[in-house]
Chains A and B, each alone.
Chain A
């Protein structure tokens, strides 16, 4: 089994999507591990299951490192032979060693006190020094810890320590109704409120066996593109800011604000929260509001794209900075723009839902893997979003916006392409309540890549590289 999984991980025909575990000790006496791949050639999912009571095989590839450590934290299962089994989410300072919250029999009443010290990696080459950043950062950013080892200006090593924001969302949802899960799913990563809630709702709809009406499919897709657009425009503005070009940044931030206001005019919420429901959408929305406004915003965006690409001083900062090679992207199973900028293409919409999008999504990818490339991928995404919105608004089918349904028990996956890449929710419903929910934000695959992207670059470029990856802390930390 181990060799089979290894071969899929190294194959170019398979995209690794995640490793999901459920505690089935009560029913079947075992824990079930599900390795999830997408078979790109045959266009279907590949799920490989392993049952275990205590141990499971360690696979030596960076893409699995965090997963295996996570499973060790959460379930107390041991990846046999893992060389670096430090706690990941449950900081040894704050949680006892034998605390494994996702086990069904876990006792969640644990005292808050100092337990053990955390061990950082031992890396002290001669003449090197360290710069420690975070968990609290200088700007309005989420918390996380970065440890740089430098020798002069260039970065020799970066070790990241995340999960400061670990709240225990997955456990919180256990035993709660689906409606609560939906509300919580909008709060996994706030900037991706809609994408996460769609992934969640899709998992529910597969379990219930609902085919939502075509009109709801279209409205959801339009709202999703609006969210993608807002996030991509926001990233664009931040990159302007981090290369020190405030004029461009402010102009592009203004476009973002207008998009947020457009959302508010549409659904009454700047993040489009509360509009999605199981079976469709909550209320009719007037899409005419979007139609003309979006054309003007596109024109405005194109002006600043041109400005960016024509400025040699800006490109001087972004070209060749923060390089991620194809091999690196592959071994970490990178997702979203990080992957696309390094020649690895996976887009949930294109690959899993091509019927809906068709030629509106081009298989756009680049090779250079630097900050410029990641921005250019975003430019492509932005323009695609504009096209999809226009096209879908003019072709929107008539009909109902939701479908009534009967509740059922079962297990399924929900997939969505968020702005950062593929999002997966694995959901199990038992007696009408959530019994297991695993959330996988693309940031969980992409964060460790930053440790390689900065190597050899100078520390002053770190903010720029970080922004070009722009990963979610809360979606990652859960």
Chain B
């Protein structure tokens, strides 16, 4: 770790090669349809997470991961978005705001569930304050990235892999 930090500081930080996260990543990226490559606008919605998932999503923009190099951008308005990332179990209080935001994302939209909670409520399953995960409200995510929280590497791998199919 010492050497890693030393090299970073001496030589400047280089954005990491995605094939170091998963060998096939470059091949997958090359094969992606043109409509996805270089431009994917994501609107993020936190429906009740513990905020560790958000912590890792913000890390995606740092110079190590630099997710914008793939044209993936987090945008401010659902109206600008092609995809939604969703974290956390869906609380009663966030259910309606989530539906409102989803209504405003133009079709076809891609739904990406981030973290164990988003799918079925994860550790919060059974709490009175949540309506459940995406599957409980009959939303089928196109991509599901497991983890509690998934690391930034998992998220990049997951998004690439998800679009491959």
Contact = CB atoms under 8 A, between A and B. Distances in A.
Interface stretch (B5-13, B24-32, B33-41, B156-164): B5-13
Contacts of A108: 128
B54 A143 contact: no
By CB atoms of chain A within 10 A, which of B47, B57, B94 has the most?
B94
B133 interface: no
Contact of A474 (B49, B61, B131): B49
A430 interface: no
B91 A253 contact: no
Contacts of B50: 187-190, 474
Contacts of B123: 183-184, 187
Nearest to B13: A254
B9 to A, nearest CB: 6
A297 interface: yes
A136 B97 contact: yes
A362 interface: no
B58 A140 contact: yes
A394 to B, nearest CB: 16
Contacts of A265: 1
Interface size class of A (residues with CB under 8 A): 35 or more
Interface string B100-135: 010000000000000000000001101111110000
A260 B62 CA distance: 12
A169 B129 CA distance: 8
Contacts of A292: 2
B79 interface: no
B89 A167 contact: yes
A246 B92 CA distance: 37
Interface size class of B (residues with CB under 8 A): 35 or more
Q: Is the interface of B mostly helix, strand, loop or mixed?
A: mixed
B4 interface: yes
Contact of A167 (B46, B61, B91): B91
Given A135-B97, A140-B44, A253-B63, A191 B128 contact: no
Interface stretch (A146-154, A158-166, A375-383): A158-166
Nearest to A94: B92
A444 interface: no
A289 B2 contact: yes
Nearest to B75: A138
Contacts of A236: none
A165 B53 contact: no
A425 interface: no
Nearest to B74: A140
Given A136-B45, A140-B74, A193 B5 contact: no
Contacts of B131: 112
B126 A166 contact: no
A106 B18 CA distance: 51
Nearest to A163: B93
Interface in A284-327: 289-293, 296-297, 300
Contacts of A253: 59, 61-63
Contacts of B58: 140
A261 interface: yes
A41 B2 CA distance: 44
A91 B54 CA distance: 24
Contacts of B149: 190, 271
B1 A171 contact: no
A298 to B, nearest CB: 11
A262 interface: yes
B41 to A, nearest CB: 13
A91 B129 CA distance: 10
A13 interface: no
A131 interface: no
Contacts of A93: 96
Contacts of A256: 59, 62
A444 B104 CA distance: 32
A172 B131 CA distance: 14
Interface string B54-87: 1111110111100000000010110000000000
A232 interface: no
Interface string A252-287: 011011101110010000110100000000000000
A139 interface: yes
B143 interface: no
A253 B93 CA distance: 32
B5 A297 contact: yes
Nearest to B53: A190
Contact of A169 (B47, B94, B97, B124): B124
Given A172-B127, A265-B1, A191 B51 contact: yes
A250 B49 CA distance: 25
Contact of B129 (A166, A189, A271): A166
Contacts of A260: 59
Interface in A165-182: 165-169, 171-172
A190 B128 contact: no
By CB atoms of chain A within 10 A, which of B77, B129, B130 has the most?
B129
The 9 A-B pairs with the shortest beta carbon distances in the complex, nearest first, are A190-B52, A168-B129, A138-B76, A187-B50, A190-B50, A172-B127, A167-B129, A190-B51, A168-B127
20 contacts: A91-B93, A94-B95, A112-B92, A135-B97, A136-B46, A139-B76, A143-B97, A164-B94, A165-B48, A167-B127, A168-B127, A171-B127, A187-B123, A254-B64, A257-B64, A262-B1, A270-B151, A271-B52, A271-B149, A289-B1
Interface of B: 1-2, 4-6, 8-9, 13, 44-59, 61-64, 74, 76-77, 88-89, 91-97, 101, 123-124, 126-131, 148-149, 151
Interface of A: 91, 93-95, 101, 108, 110, 112, 135-136, 138-143, 163-169, 171-172, 183-184, 187-191, 193, 234, 250, 253-254, 256-258, 260-262, 265, 270-271, 273, 289-293, 296-297, 300, 472-475
